[in-house]
Structure 1
Amino acid sequence: MIISTKTLMKSAALALATLSVPAIVASPAAAQSKTGIAVANYEAAVVRSQAYQTALEQMKTTYKADIDATNARAAALQTEMKPLIDAYNAAVQKPGATQATVQPQAQALQAKRQAGQQELARLQQRVTLATAYVEEQVGKKLNDAIRTAMKAKKVDLILQPQAVVAREPYVDMTDAIIAELNKLIPSATITPPAGWQPGQKENAAQPAETQQPSGR
């Protein structure tokens, strides 16, 4: 398990998982207008924003010791687990093998894997927390970015990609939202305040309902 940029982007999944998706509500002034519909991937907009990408690069330097320690331990764990994996495979391949006969090897392998995952999580705790903090900072600007992009594109309704069966490429507003995020938050801090935790009430990124832009 080598800590790469892709891994860093996933290390704070909790923050993105708790990022509320804004509800798009039409205002009375626009109720009679022809509905313009688009799609947008909010999570992708956050992680592809300038602030988020720059923060990832900064973390590679600031938290290099943590990343290196995690990589080294991950490599060592792979070596340590190999005899357990071999023992399990050998037990499974024995004639007459049953769930009961391979259970000791399976339990030993599972216990080692879980312990390793917990150890790696502790080693990269600062990286995980820093990534979550960046995601939360960018997420706080997401509502404003969506509103501005909707007004510019004259869109009344945004759907998430997974809710769409078929669409034309031009209806995807993710890039437009990213452009607005880059204006609103060109950079983010990678060092959380002392005691900060993802999802704290005073810090949580909870976009309010997005009102449909008026004036088309």
Structure 2
Amino acid sequence: MTTISKMILKSAAVAIVAMTAPALMSVPAMAQSKTGIAMANYEAAVARSQAFTVAMTQMQTTYKSDIDAVNARAAALQVEIKPLVDAYNAAVQQPGATQQSVQPQAQALQAKQQSGQQEIARLRQRISIATSYVEEQIAMKLEAAIKATMKAKNVDMVLSPQAIIAREPYVDITDAIILELNKLIPSASITPPAGWQPGQADQPQQPPAAQPASR
């Protein structure tokens, strides 16, 4: 897996955590079963869905120029930062070194790291927006996938992993949710509409403004 692939997947995981996914879902009362209470990892379900994995592969080609630019700049930044790291380490190892005495080197290193992070973020902007667009398309189908899985498995309640102290393997229905997601959204677009920003996937289109009547 390339460096940028790992970056994309990491950003995806962070973005999905920020999404509003139901921590508790309920369906009409059904016959009690051994798996009446289940656990599901919603973030993993989205990231492992067919639509997401295919989209990430497609992005390697569609956004190749952006990916190459990010990788090239990241490599260059490592070279640029190394002398500052060496200077800081040398200052720390000086006899009688204190927090105040190494502050200039620490500040120089921190400033370079922050500016580098900001620069990489700018270069990754199109990739980040496209990834968020894919995530939101899939997330819009997540609740339906969860409900379908609950009905199929006779589950009355689904908890997130953070709410579970101990469980049996059969309680985890994440894989079943992924299968439902694959049915509901087998593919997702990696090209956001012009001007699209995260959080807009589920917003209805605004009607055009009324035009003044001609006289």
Instruction: Give the structure-2-normalised TM-score.
Output: 0.88
User: Is 1:12–1:129's contact at 8 Å kept on the other side of the alignment?
Assistant: no
Cα distance in 2 for residues equivalent to 1:69 and 1:11:
18
Query: C-alpha displacement at 1:96, in angstroms?
Result: 0.6
SS for the counterpart of 2:38 is: strand
Give distance in 1, aligned partners of 2:72 and 2:203. 34
- Cα deviation, 1:43-87, whole Å, max 9, x if unaligned, reads 000010000000000000000000001000000000000000000
Does the 8 Å contact 1:16/1:43 carry over to 2? Answer: yes
- Deviation track 1:137-184 (CA, whole Å, cap 9, x = no partner) reads 000000000000000010011111122111111110000000000000
Amino acid across the alignment from 1:197: Q
1:211 match: none
Judge conservation of contact 1:3–1:67 (CA < 8 Å) in 2.
no
The answer to whether the 8 A contact 2:13-2:47 is kept is: no
Kept after mapping to 2: 8 A contact 1:50/1:186:
yes
- Residue 11 of structure 1, CA deviation: 2.6
Q: Calculate the aligned-residue CA RMSD, in Å.
A: 2.0
What SS does the aligned partner of 2:158 have? strand
Q: Alignment partner of 1:155: what SS?
A: coil
Kindly report structure 1 stretches of 4+ aligned residues shifted beyond 6 Å.
none
The answer for the alignment partner of 1:209 in structure 2 is none
**Share of identical aligned residues, percent?**
66
Partners of 2:72 and 2:92 in 1: CA distance: 31
Q: Which residue of 1 aligns with 2:90?
A: 90
CA distance in 2, matches of 1:136, 1:150: 22
- Distance in 1, matches of 2:11 and 2:25, equals 33
How much does 1:13 deviate? Answer: 5.0
Aligned mates of 1:48, 1:202 — CA distance in 2: 21
For structure 1, the 5+ residue unaligned runs are 205-216
SS at structure 1 position matched to 2:101: helix
Equivalent position of 1:212 in the other structure: none
Partner of 1:100, secondary structure, is coil
Give me the whole-angstrom Cα distance separating, in 1, the residues matched to 2:15 and 2:203: 11
> Secondary structure of 2:199's partner?
coil
After superposing the two structures, state which structure 1 stretch, 156-165 or 108-117, moved more.
Answer: 156-165
**Contact 1:55/1:188 (8 A) holds in 2:** yes
